[in-house]
């Protein structure tokens, strides 16, 4: 299922982002929400709200499905991907926030409902989008 050999870079799992990474290990997608203005952030912004700049932030669990708002096919995949592989990248709407990720189905379409799954690559658990 996963045409990725490895990820050629190291992702730092800092104290600030550990809730996000722990969620990925458990098959959950976390982000943050401001307790003052209710703004939902994606990617997570666990220190300051990027709308009102307050620091009263909570972690929230995002839904594991959404609708594609756009997609593209990349026929020259980046390092770490096997040759002859077409990378399909989609953006889905999750609680009105755009979330970008790799699509592992054959037929991306704008407005298509997709689900979020998690795959393990080296020591990382990462999310991908697939058909419902
Ligand atoms: Zn705010």
Q: What is the pLDDT of residues 47-58, one digit of tens each?
A: 999 999 999 999
What is d(CA 45, CA 51) in angstroms, rounded to the nearest whole number?
A: 10
Domain housing 30 = 14-62
What is d(CA 13, CA 38) in angstroms, rounded to the nearest whole number?
A: 26
Q: Identify whether 58 is part of a domain.
A: yes
What is d(CA 91, CA 79) in angstroms, rounded to the nearest whole number?
A: 21
Alpha-carbon torsion (110, 115, 119, 125), positive or negative: positive
48 in the same domain as 23? yes
25 in the same domain as 42? yes
The pLDDT of residue 71 is 97
- CA 62 to centroid of ligand 1, rounded, Å: 18
To the nearest whole number, what is the mean pLDDT of the chain? 88
The pLDDT of residue 61 is 96
85 in the same domain as 46? no
The pLDDT of residue 2 is 45
Token digits for 58?
A: 């909570």
Q: Identify whether 70 is part of a domain.
A: yes
Q: Which residue has the tokens 């658990």?
A: 125
Tell me: pLDDT of 68 over 90: yes
The pLDDT of residue 3 is 56
19 in the same domain as 81? no
As for how many domains the chain has, the answer is: 2
- CA 57 to centroid of ligand 1, rounded, Å: 8
- CA 40 to centroid of ligand 1, rounded, Å: 8
The pLDDT of residue 28 is 97
pTM for this prediction:
0.84
CB 87 within 8 A of CB 100: no
119 in the same domain as 81? yes
What is the CB neighbour count within 10 angstroms for residue 132? Answer: 8
Q: Identify whether 87 is part of a domain.
A: yes
- CA 127 to centroid of ligand 1, rounded, Å: 26
Q: How confident is the model at residue 46 (pLDDT cuts 50, 70, 90)?
A: very high
What CATH number should be reported for the domain holding residue 98?
2.40.50
Coil vs helix vs strand at 23: helix
The pLDDT of residue 7 is 64
């Amino acid at each position: 299922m996963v045409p990725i050999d490895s990820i050629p870079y190291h992702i730092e799992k800092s104290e600030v982002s550990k809730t996000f990474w722990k969620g990925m290990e458990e098959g959950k997608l976390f982000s943050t929400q401001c307790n003052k203005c209710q703004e939902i952030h994606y990617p997570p912004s666990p220190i300051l709200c990027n709308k009102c700049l307050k620091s009263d932030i909570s972690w929230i669990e995002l839904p594991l499905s959404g609708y594609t708002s756009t997609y593209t096919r990349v026929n020259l995949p980046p390092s770490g991907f096997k040759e002859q592989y077409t990378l399909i990248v989609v953006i889905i709407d999750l609680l009105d926030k755009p979330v970008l990720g790799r699509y592992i189905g054959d037929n991306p379409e704008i407005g298509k409902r997709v689900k979020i799954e998690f795959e393990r690559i080296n020591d990382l658990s990462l999310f991908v989008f697939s058909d419902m």
